[in-house]
Amino acid sequence: MLRQLSRHTERYRSFAMALPGAVRDVHAEHTEIFHYALAGQDARAALALEAHIRTTPDLLIQALRAGRVSLPGSGERASS
C-alpha cells in the first residue's frame, strides 16, 4: 500500500513540477523544515512541512480550474 501511495505521489508531484508557472524552490522548502526541526521549533517545522506537502495539490487544482491541464484519462483536453 505504501509503495502504491508513493508511486501516485511521485506521479502527481512530477506532473505539478512540469506545469507552466509552477516555480518552486523545493531545496529551500526542505532547508526551512530541517532548520526548524533542528532548532526544536516543532510547531514551525510542522507548519512548514504541511505547506510544503500542500503545494503540489494546490498547483494542480489551480491549473485544472484555469483549464491549463486536464485530468489523465478524462478524454478532455486543456484549453489553450
- Tell me if residue 65 falls in helix, strand or coil: helix
Which pTM was predicted?
A: 0.69
The pLDDT of residue 72 is: 67
Residue 16 in contact with residue 54, Cβ under 8 Å?
A: no
Residue 13 in contact with residue 56, Cβ under 8 Å?
A: yes
The pLDDT of residue 76 is: 54
- Where does the pLDDT of residue 9 fall: very low under 50, low under 70, confident under 90, or very high at 90 and above? confident
The C-alpha cell that represents 31 in the structure block: 532547508
| pLDDT digit string, tens, across residues 12-25 | 888 787 787 777 89
Structural element, H or E, at residue 29: helix 26-38
pLDDT above 90: residue 38: yes
| pLDDT digit string, tens, across residues 25-37 | 999 999 999 999 9
